[in-house]
Amino acid sequence: MPDEPLPRLEGDAQSNAAWHRARRRAVALEAVLAAEGARSAAVAAAARELALSTRQVYALLRRYEPARTVGSLLRRTGARGSRITPAVEQIIRAWLKRYLRRERKSLRAIVNCIRDDASAAGERPPGINTVRRCLRQWYTDEEIVKRRHGPRGHANRLHPRAGTIDATYPLERTQIDSTPTNILLVDAEGVVIGRATLVILVDVFSHAVLGFCLSLEKPSAITTALCIQHAILPKEQWLAERNVSYDWPMSGVPHEIFPDRGREFRNSALARGCDDLRIRLETERRGNPHIRGIVERVLDIINELTSREPGTMTRSPTERGGYRADLHACLTFERLERIVAIAIAGIHNVEQDERSLRIPLEDWKAGIDRTVQRPCDPDTVLLRFLPGEERKLGPTGIRRFGLDYYSHLLDPYIVNADRHGKLLVRHDPRNISRIYVRLPDTGGYLALGRRDGIAGPVSLWEHRAERRRRRLHGAAYSGVRAQARRDIDASAREAATLTRHRRRAARAAERERLGTSAPTPLPDPEPASRPKLNLRKKRAFAINEPWESGE
C-alpha cells in the first residue's frame, strides 16, 4: 500500500567512507566463505588484508553470513546501556523537571546546575550530551514542547498544519495585506516626510497583483478600500497618467477576499462596500497564518525591488553601517508610486517562479476565460469604497478639511437645509479638489468643487502636511504675540495708575480751593444703657425614682 511505511534500510545514515570500508570487508569475507578446505587459513589471509585480528574477522563473519549484505557490516548505531549512577540519574531527573517549565530555561544552564550538584555529591559530572540523551529517552517530543511552549505551541511545532488556500480560476480567491515601505520620502521642498504604507491585493490562482494603494497614513479602512477599488477598475488610464507603459490587464470584481485579523480589514464601511458588490470577506482563523503566505511573499518581493533606491532604511544596524537614509532620501510620493507600479507590472507579473516555473501574466490570460465576470460601473465602485461622513449643509456649502465646497446646484437644498438635515459626503483621499455629496431626494451623488476655485489635484496627506507646516510657521510669531499682550497689559496698568493719581490730585486741589480740610468723622455715640430684663429662674422639680429611694 502507498500509505504503509517501508522497512528501514541498513546504512542510510552512514557516510560514504563507512560504506566503502564495509564493502571492502564484504569482498574479503566472500572470499573466506568461498574458500575450500580449512577456514582458518582463509580467515588469517582476510585478517592480513583488512589489518584486523582473526578474532575480529570471525565476529564480522557472524554478522555477515546470515544475510550477506554490505549494510550488515556497518557500525551499529543503536542505544547502549546507561553508565550513569542512580544518584546522578536522580539529580538529572530533578533538574529536567525545572527545564520542562514555561520559563524555558536553556539546557546549558540546566546542565551547569546538574554538574554542580553531581560534584557536590561526589559523583562524576555528566556532560551535555548525556543530559540531552536522558531528556529524549524519558520524555517525548510532544511532551517537551507542550510543557515548555504550552498547548498552542505544541500544536504549531509538532502537528501538521492543516488548511490551505487555492483557486481554480482567476478572481475566485484573493488575499490582501499591508506593510510599511523601506524608503524615506521627501516633499516637494526636500523635507523628509516619513515612510509610506503599501497595501496590495493578490490573486491566489495566478499570484498576480490585482491592485495596490500607496499612502502616507497608517493602514486603515481608507487604504484598504482604495486598494480594492484600484484592483477592480481597469488600469490603462491610471498607467497613462503616471507614464507607465507596461501591460497590466488584471482587473475585475473578486469573488472572495482573505484578509488577516487587522483592524483596517474589519470595519462596517468595507463590509458594506463588499456586500454591495457581492464580495465575500473571509477572515482567517486564529492560529493559521501559514495560509496567507502568498500575499506576504509578494509583499517581500515588491519591498525588495523598491529597496534599491536612495533613502532605503534597514532594520539591522550592522547592515545599515554609517548609511544615513534621511540624508540620501530623494524620492517623492509620486515617484515611489510610479516605481511600485513598474515593479509590479514590469517585473513581478512577468517573472517566472523558480519552484513552479509559472508566470503570473500568462496564468491570468490562460484562466481569465473561465472567470465569471461581474459587471460593475466604475463610478459606482469609486463611490462605494470611498470614506464618507455626514455633514451639515450651510449657506456657503459644505466645509471639509478646512475648505469650503460649493456648487450652484446646491442652492435648492441650501434653502431647505433644516428640513434635509445632514448629508452624506464622500471624498477621495488621493484628490480632495472635489467631494461627492449624496442628494437627499434622488439618492444620487453630486460632485462639488472647491469654493476658492482651485481645481488642481491635491491629496489629503499633502493638504494636512501643508496645514501642519503653516501652523508651525504661525507658531514662529507666538513670541511676538505674547510680547504684544504683555505690552497691552502694561499700558493698561500704567493708564490706571496715572488716572488714579490725577483723580487724587484733583480732589486735593478742590479741597484747597474751598479752604476746608476733609471733614473729621464724628465719634460714635456711647451705647445707651439697656434695661435689664427680669428673667425668672427655671424651677427645678424633684424626681423621685424607685432606685434612688431603695424601694
265 touches 259 (CB < 8 A): yes
Cα(128)–Cα(82) distance, rounded to whole angstroms?
A: 15
pTM, two decimal places: 0.59
Separation in Å, CA 536 to CA 530, 533, 539, 542, 543: 18, 9, 9, 18, 21
pLDDT band at 11 (very low <50, low <70, confident <90, very high): very low
pLDDT band at 286 (very low <50, low <70, confident <90, very high): low
Cα(26)–Cα(371) distance, rounded to whole angstroms?
A: 64
Helix-strand-coil split of the chain, %, nearest 5 = 50, 15, 40
Residue spans per domain, the chain: 16-73, 86-158, 174-370, 388-473
Number of H helices, E strands in the chain: 21, 11
- Residue 154, pLDDT above cutoff 80: no
174-370 belongs to which homologous superfamily?
Ribonuclease H-like superfamily/Ribonuclease H (3.30.420.10)
**pLDDT at residue 114, rounded to an integer:** 92
Residue whose C-alpha cell is 466604475: 378
**pLDDT at residue 144, rounded to an integer:** 86
Which strand (E) or helix (H) includes residue 530? none
**pLDDT at residue 391, rounded to an integer:** 85
Residues 6+ apart with CB under 8 A from 337: 214, 242
- Residue 548, pLDDT above cutoff 50: yes
Tens digit of pLDDT for each residue in 195-228? 888 888 888 888 888 989 888 878 777 788 888 8
Note the Cα 308 to chain centre separation in Å: 23
Cα(433)–Cα(456) distance, rounded to whole angstroms?
A: 7
Strand-pairing partners, residue 406, are 449
Strand-pairing partners, residue 312, are 183
Higher pLDDT, 2 or 437: 437
Mean pLDDT of the chain: 79
Closest CA to 432 of 406, 458, 398, 455: 458
Q: Give the three-state DSSP class for 174.
A: strand
86-158: in CATH 2.60.40: no
Cα(181)–Cα(528) distance, rounded to whole angstroms?
A: 97
Closest CA to 170 of 377, 363, 351: 363
Cα(71)–Cα(8) distance, rounded to whole angstroms?
A: 11
Tens digit of pLDDT for each residue in 83-134? 788 899 999 999 999 999 888 888 889 999 999 999 999 999 998 999 999 9
